[in-house]
Amino acid sequence: MGAIAIDNGTVLILITLAVVPIAAFAFGRSGGAWRQIGKGPLAIEQEMPPPRSTGAAPADRALQEAEVRQMLEAKSYRRVRAGRDPIDVEAEVRRLFEEHPAAGPSPDASLRDEVRRLVIAGNERRLRRGEPPLDVEAEVERQLAEFA
């Protein structure tokens, strides 16, 4: 009986010729899966949420007082349970709101100075391009308001 003698090189070539089309077909069908690698809720590189269009609205003073009152009542309750004197909640609320009056956020002097330097540098670039300079103080206030 005649057996066909096939050497190792021929076997490798035949296997390769059989597997390559199958692998190419499988790879072509998995395109969507490849685009999702590294994405998902636990991925490190996620898309950033869109920036907020406006700054945060100032909190209502009555709402602030109610929340502070709740926190102070809870603190007073914990103190009583620990065997210490309770807190005078109303007096503490008045004291806190007198110490920190409701005003818009004011940037510290170093931030204001840094923004001023950036505006001045921007004005120098505008002058080199032949454009009119901006009003420094008005631009500083605009940028700080935009930042806040």
What is the pLDDT averaged over residues 72-93? 93
Residue 120, pLDDT > 90, answer: yes
pTM of the model: 0.34
Residue 88, pLDDT > 60, answer: yes
Contact 119, 134 (CB under 8 A): yes
Residue 107, pLDDT > 70, answer: no
How many angstroms separate the Cα of 110 from the Cα of each of 4, 103, 106, 115, 147?
88, 19, 12, 9, 14
Residue 2, pLDDT > 90, answer: no
**Angle value at C-alpha 60, between 55 and 64, nearest 5 degrees:** 110
What is the pLDDT of the chain when averaged over all its residues? 83
Cα-only R_g, the chain = 35
Q: Measuring CA to CA, which residue among 110, 121, 101, 111 is closest to residue 144?
A: 111
What is the pLDDT averaged over residues 42-52? 68
- String of DSSP letters for 122-138: HHHHHHHTTPPPPPHHH
Supply the pLDDT for residue 106: 56
Helix (H) or strand (E) holding 38: none
Supply the pLDDT for residue 130: 94
What is the pLDDT averaged over residues 26-42? 77
What is the pLDDT averaged over residues 45-65? 68
**Angle value at C-alpha 111, between 105 and 138, nearest 5 degrees:** 75
Residue 111, pLDDT > 70, answer: yes
Q: Domain residues of the chain, as ranges?
A: 61-99, 109-147
Q: Which residue has the higher pLDDT, 50 or 7?
A: 7
